[in-house]
């Protein structure tokens, strides 16, 4: 960082929250040997995420630094450096009934607050505030349903929403939300974090469709951008992500890609959510620090 060198402060840490500071605040920080820091808090506000299809907007919550208005950040050079989009797991009752207030996204809120990282979490269409109704299960959650049919498009809508507000975006998703990210949302992403992706979820499909689904799914991963940092977080007891299947997926994914096993965790990651959220945030912060030092 040039300001760090100008103040001969090589021994002073570069902090993640510095991406929101003015040049004067950065200079004061380095001149003081890291003692003086601006007061910053993160707040959540309810937002509506427009859909490219023109349907009802998606209901979401945006975690944002309280002293950086959206008008201020509309100027490209002054946007926050990174923002995370969290794509939820399957909302169908029989597959967990996940939503933006499930345990993992709430753990991610806490981790992002501590790291001063903007975060968007939202619900898919027909789920709760996103036009939800009692007929969701009839529409998408029946015995033959495997995923929300609009999830890939809505992940891309959420990524577009965050891209308008941040210089770089991180797409992060769990299970269904992770599986559909490579379809469209990653075209807008700078960092990819997949939590409980499920290469063996193909077993939930009719046998006649399994190989075609697997082929299509793997093809999306081969098209992820080379050079984009990618992190896969999977439980060692996840029945949908056996080691051979995850290693094959990793081999198909352009580098750099890292696979992190959470010892003892199942597909739902119950009991491990805070640790997983911290892993994701630490991965983003490490990448940002590499960019600051010219290593990324």
- Note whether 35 and 166 are same-domain residues: no
Q: What is the pLDDT of residue 192?
A: 95
Residues near 170 by Cβ (< 8 Å), separated by ≥ 6?
82, 83, 84, 85, 189, 190, 191, 192, 193, 284
- Note whether 109 and 143 are same-domain residues: yes
CB 199 within 8 A of CB 246: yes
- Note whether 16 and 119 are same-domain residues: no
Q: What is the pLDDT of residue 84?
A: 95
* Structural domain containing residue 156: 41-292
- Note whether 27 and 109 are same-domain residues: no
- Note whether 83 and 133 are same-domain residues: yes
- Note whether 136 and 261 are same-domain residues: yes
Buried b / exposed e along 127-145 (16+ C-beta atoms within 10 A)? bebbbbeeebbeebbeeeb
Extract the tokens encoding 85.
């989009």
Q: How buried is residue 267: exposed, middle or buried, by Cβ count under 10 Å (0-12/13-18/19+)?
A: buried
> In CATH, what number is assigned to the domain containing residue 128?
3.40.50.1820
- Note whether 89 and 12 are same-domain residues: no
- Note whether 140 and 160 are same-domain residues: yes
- Note whether 182 and 242 are same-domain residues: yes
Counting runs of H as helices and runs of E as strands, what totals does the chain give? 10, 8
- Note whether 88 and 170 are same-domain residues: yes
Q: How many domains does the chain have?
A: 2
pTM: 0.80
Using CA atoms of 198, 201, 202, 205 in order, give the dihedral in degrees to the nearest 10. Answer: -150
- Note whether 181 and 101 are same-domain residues: yes
| Furthest-apart CA atoms within the chain: distance in Å | 66
Provide the residue-wise pLDDT of the chain in tens; the chain has 296 residues: 565 656 556 777 777 666 556 667 778 888 888 887 766 678 899 999 999 988 889 999 999 887 654 443 444 445 677 899 999 988 776 666 788 989 999 999 999 988 889 999 999 887 877 666 545 555 554 444 455 668 889 999 999 999 988 888 999 999 888 888 888 878 779 999 999 988 777 676 677 777 777 787 788 888 899 999 999 999 999 998 999 999 999 999 999 999 999 999 999 999 999 999 999 999 998 888 787 666 65
- Note whether 21 and 81 are same-domain residues: no
């Amino acid at each position: 960082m040039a300001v760090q060198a100008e103040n001969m402060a090589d021994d002073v840490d570069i902090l993640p929250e510095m991406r929101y500071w003015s040049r004067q605040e950065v200079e004061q920080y380095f001149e003081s040997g890291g003692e003086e820091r601006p007061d910053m808090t993160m707040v959540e506000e309810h937002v509506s995420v427009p859909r490219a299809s023109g349907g009802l907007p998606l209901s979401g919550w945006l975690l944002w630094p309280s002293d950086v208005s959206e008008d201020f950040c509309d100027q490209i050079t002054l946007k926050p450096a990174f923002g995370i989009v969290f794509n939820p797991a399957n909302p169908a009752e029989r597959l967990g009934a996940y939503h933006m207030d499930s345990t993992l996204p709430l753990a991610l809120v806490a981790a992002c607050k501590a790291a001063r990282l903007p975060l968007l979490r939202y619900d898919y269409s027909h789920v709760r505030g996103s036009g939800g109704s009692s007929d969701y299960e009839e529409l998408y959650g029946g015995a033959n349903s495997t995923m929300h049919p609009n999830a890939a498009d809505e992940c891309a809508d959420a990524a577009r929403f965050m891209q308008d507000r941040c210089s770089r975006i991180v797409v992060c998703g769990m299970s269904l939300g992770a599986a559909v990210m490579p379809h469209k949302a990653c075209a807008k992403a700078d960092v990819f974090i997949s939590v409980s992706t499920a290469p063996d979820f193909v077993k939930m499909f009719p046998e006649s469709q399994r190989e075609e689904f697997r082929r299509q799914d793997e093809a999306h991963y081969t098209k992820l951008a080379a050079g984009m940092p990618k992190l896969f977080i999977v439980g060692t007891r996840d029945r949908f992500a056996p080691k051979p299947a995850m290693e094959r997926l990793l081999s198909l994914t352009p580098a750099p890609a890292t696979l992190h096993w959470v010892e003892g965790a199942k597909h739902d990651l119950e009991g491990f959510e805070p640790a997983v959220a911290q892993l994701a945030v630490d991965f983003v912060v490490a990448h940002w620090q590499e960019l600051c030092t010219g290593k990324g």
